Structure 1
Amino acid sequence: AEVKLADQLKLSIFVNPNLVDMGVTGFGMAGRMLRERLIDNLVPIYYLRTLPWGALTRLYPNQFTVWQEDTDNEETGYRMIKSMDRLPSNPEVEDIYDFENGNADDPSQQKGFGLLDAIGDFVLGMTRL
């Protein structure tokens, strides 16, 4: 009976997202190497990030989902606006919200971007860290 039970067990590891103080390790090579060795190999099974207008979630084996607050939905108070098989970046999440609310073009239909737009997105992303 113990052998049968051992075959059904799954190893789960919970990692604190504040594992490293980026003020100490910095954003350079040391922080990147730690992330590559430890964190990048892990698969997030539970993910919850609250946003001013909704949330980003994952419950393994389901996909990552972007939710928007919806006062018309009495059951949950949220509605799903996008599902993805990978963790979207911060700019992607904002683009999904903007597109859903008519504030931007569909990001999946855009045909490339300019160099200045890419640099602006990079600087904006770094200031949010």
Structure 2
Amino acid sequence: MTQSLEPVLLPDNLEDAIAQAINATHLAIANGATRIVVDLRFPELKVLPIATEFAVSFNQNYGNNWQAIFADAGAAALAKREWADLDISVRGVNEGRRAIREDDRAFLIIEPTSVEVEQLEKLLQLAGDRPFVMVNPRLENSEVGLGLAARQMRDRFFNTFETAYYIKPLELGALWRCYPQTWQVWQQTELGMEPMAEVSQRPSSEDIDRLFRQKTGQRSGNFLESLQQFFNALSR
């Protein structure tokens, strides 16, 4: 079993965050995880550059025996153009069995939404015990109009996944997880970002607010709207 030898620290730029996410993903796979989610919750972040870095790493690990699967046909078409020199098979979620070839060794699903959960479950069954990695899923972005049964199916589906990497800037800190480390809440201080608490499971916004009130007397469960402001705080 592969082990992480040194603790990983909160990244101070987007490139390092992506590199950490890729390393955490392949470490989780090496340790036997097959359902993996990576989520970089930065404002107005374009997912294709992140997916490109993941695609390069998948090529290095699996050759051309893997599939990149997009929820949106337009995003898939754009990726085909951008990745013309990378020898990557790109499919859409709606292509069903064609998206899960028998000789594929892994699958990278980019930015799926709750609308595709039923199709994703079918793909997951076809994938079996092969690595199935979701990058920046947006399974909460279609809450309006989503019935109770659909929400329950989405939650049941999502709860079967191991979070290999998660980072979310907050007004006064950050929520972060880099596999195999625990979930960490960081706070912004005069000296820069410092760890505040470690928890075994992903904390809710209410949990984070409670932690900040206990430690600082302030609330910080709100999403930070400036990516540059966040990394400026980290690099001080």
Question: What is residue 125 of structure 1 aligned with on the other side?
Answer: none
Q: What is aligned with 2:155?
A: 35
The alpha carbon displacement at 1:14 in A equals: 2.2
Query: What's the CA shift for 1:21?
Result: 1.3
Structure 2, unmatched stretches of 5+, are 1-28, 31-130, 219-236
Select 1:96's aligned residue among 211, 218, 226.
Answer: 211
Instruction: Render the CA deviation track for 1:20-74: whole Å, top value 9, x for unaligned.
Output: 5112324x222112221x20110111011111111000000000000011222xx
Alignment partner, residue 51 of structure 1:
170
Shift in CA distance, 12/57, structure 1 to aligned 2, threshold 3 Å: farther
The partner residue of 2:182 within 57, 60, 63 is 63
- Is 1:78 equivalent to 2:200 in the alignment? no
**Which among 143, 146, 154 is matched to residue 22 of structure 1?**
143
In 1, the alpha carbon distance for the partners of 2:210 and 2:171 equals 14
Residues 1:31 and 1:99: Cα distance change in structure 2 (over 3 Å): same
Question: What is the TM-score when the length of structure 1 is the normalising length?
Answer: 0.61
Q: Distance in 2 between matches of 1:15 and 1:21?
A: 17
Structure 2 distance, partners of 1:56, 1:97, is: 12
> Aligned partners of 2:199, 2:161: CA distance in 1, in Å?
18
Q: Which has the higher contact order (CA 8 A, sep 6+)?
A: 2
Q: CA RMSD in A?
A: 2.2
**Displaced runs of 4+ in structure 1, greater than 2 A?**
9-12, 14-17
Query: Percent same amino acid among aligned pairs?
Result: 26
> What is the TM-score normalised by the length of structure 2?
0.35
